[in-house]
């Protein structure tokens, strides 16, 4: 299966997408911002279609839309963690805009619009070209580096924002910066698993890791490892079973990992604050 170029491309891009999703996802779950991640991922759809309607590269629309919304959510929300209602209303409207762009785009070109819509929503990792895959890998690596770089202060700011602020950690700026990272991850992962499914890669590995261990850095590493494992197993599964779309296989594997962790630990351990603070 490694003989095929499309599979090698998918593996390269997928691995780095999973690395970014697993690392970012850990903090998303820890900060209880899965809904914000969800909104950002769905907005990627609007971005992709807006770019298509305007005749630009899809990736410009993807990154533009998600990062813009991340800034809006970060600035609007109290303590840079926008509340549910604001998120829900803002992103319902932005999805409505996506429908509008879909209509505009469909009117402009007769064929292929369904295909583009489906690609944006559900991803097409086996359809990536080698240059696209390389770019996705670079972006994924950058996101991973950024997360690791801000991991310590972000952990502190997440677990005890008041003490962190008193110690001079820029809590609000970190919150906004982190949402921007989530936005970039969403845009990045949309190419691999699609705007509707990437939430599985953000939430499931991180949720599993946090169930299994209470040590922050170990959980971060585990979450990343689970995401990569889900990606690899999913890709292999969908290669072996032709009827199984890769996105479905990846998300199903991630969910299975979460279920397993859920079954192993009925009571989740609390995160130890001492380890983060010293």
Partner 1 sequence: MLAGTGLSPDLVSDFKALTAYPFMVNAFEAGTIVAVMAGVIGWFMVLRRQTFAGHTLSLMAFPGASAALLLGLSAAAGFFVFSTAAALVIGAAVGRSRSNRGQESAVTGSVQAFGLACGFLFLSLYSGVLANYETLLFGSFLGITTSQVRVLALVAVVALAALAFAGRPLLFASVDEGVARARGVPATALGLGFLVLLGLAVAETAQITGALLVFALLVAPPASAQLITPRIGLSIALSALIGVLITWVGLALAYFYGDPVGFYITTLAFACYVIARVARALRDRAGGRGPVLLGTRAAEGPA
**Which residues bind to partner 1, rule: CB under 8 A?**
29-35, 37-38, 42, 78-79, 83-85, 87-93, 95-97, 99-100, 102-103, 114, 117-118, 121-122, 194, 196-204, 206-207, 210-211, 243-245, 247-248, 251-252, 254-255, 258, 262, 268
Beta carbons of 191 and 41 less than 8 angstroms apart? no
Residue labelled with tokens 């008041």 = 162
Helix %, strand %, coil % for the chain, to 5? 85, 0, 15
What gap in Å lies between CA 141 and CA 205, rounded to an integer?
A: 18
Q: Which is nearer to partner 1, 3 or 85 (CB)?
A: 85
**Shortest CB 150 distance to partner 1, Å:** 19
Give the nearer residue to partner 1 in terms of CB position, either 236 or 244: 244
CB of 142 to partner 1, least distance (A): 24
| Residue with Cβ nearer partner 1 (82 or 128) | 82
Which tokens is 218 given? 């170990």
Q: Name the minimum Å distance from CB 29 to partner 1.
A: 5
User: Toward partner 1, which CB reaches closer, 8 or 106?
Assistant: 106
CB of 185 to partner 1, least distance (A): 14
Q: Which is nearer to partner 1, 248 or 273 (by Cβ)? A: 248
Q: Which is nearer to partner 1, 55 or 78 (CB)?
A: 78
Nearest distance from C-beta of residue 90 to partner 1, angstroms: 7
In the block, residue with structure tokens 């899965």: 34
Three-state SS annotation for 215-239:
CHHHHHHHHHHHHHHHHHHHHHHHH
Cα angle 160, 201, 73 (rounded to 5 degrees) comes to: 50
DSSP state of 269: P
Q: Give the CA distances from residue 29 to residues 10, 21, 35, 160, in Å, rounded to whole numbers and listed in that order.
A: 26, 11, 10, 15
**CB pairs under 8 A, 24+ apart, for 132-135?**
132/9, 132/13, 132/191, 133/9, 133/10, 133/12, 133/13, 134/12, 135/59
CB of 250 to partner 1, least distance (A): 8
Residue placing its CB nearer to partner 1 in the complex, 57 or 84: 84
- Min separation Cβ 251 and partner 1, Å: 4
């Amino acid at each position: 299966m490694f003989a095929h170029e499309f599979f090698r491309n998918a593996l390269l891009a997928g691995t780095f997408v999973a690395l970014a999703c697993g690392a970012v996802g850990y903090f998303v779950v820890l900060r209880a911002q899965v809904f914000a991640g969800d909104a950002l991922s769905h907005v990627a759809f609007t971005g992709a279609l807006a770019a298509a309607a305007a005749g630009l590269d899809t990736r410009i629309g993807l990154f533009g839309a998600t990062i813009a919304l991340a800034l809006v959510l970060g600035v609007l929300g109290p303590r840079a963690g926008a509340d549910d209602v604001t998120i829900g209303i803002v992103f319902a409207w932005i999805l409505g805009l996506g429908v509008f762009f879909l209509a505009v785009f469909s009117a402009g070109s007769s064929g292929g619009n369904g295909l583009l819509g489906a690609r944006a929503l559900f991803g097409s990792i086996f359809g990536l070209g080698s240059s696209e895959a390389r770019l996705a890998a670079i972006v994924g690596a950058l996101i991973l580096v950024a997360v690791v770089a801000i991991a310590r202060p972000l952990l502190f700011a997440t677990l005890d924002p008041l003490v962190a602020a008193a110690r001079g950690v820029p809590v609000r700026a970190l919150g906004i910066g982190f949402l921007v990272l989530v936005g970039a991850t969403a845009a990045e992962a949309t190419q691999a698993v699609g705007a509707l499914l990437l939430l599985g890669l953000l939430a499931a590995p991180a949720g599993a890791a946090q169930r299994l261990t209470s040590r922050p850095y170990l959980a971060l590493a585990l979450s990343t490892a689970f995401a990569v494992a889900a990606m690899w197993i999913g890709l292999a599964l969908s290669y072996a079973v032709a009827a199984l779309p890769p996105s479905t296989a990846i998300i199903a594997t991630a969910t299975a990992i979460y279920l397993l962790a859920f079954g192993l630990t009925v009571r989740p351990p609390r995160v130890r604050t001492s380890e983060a603070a010293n």
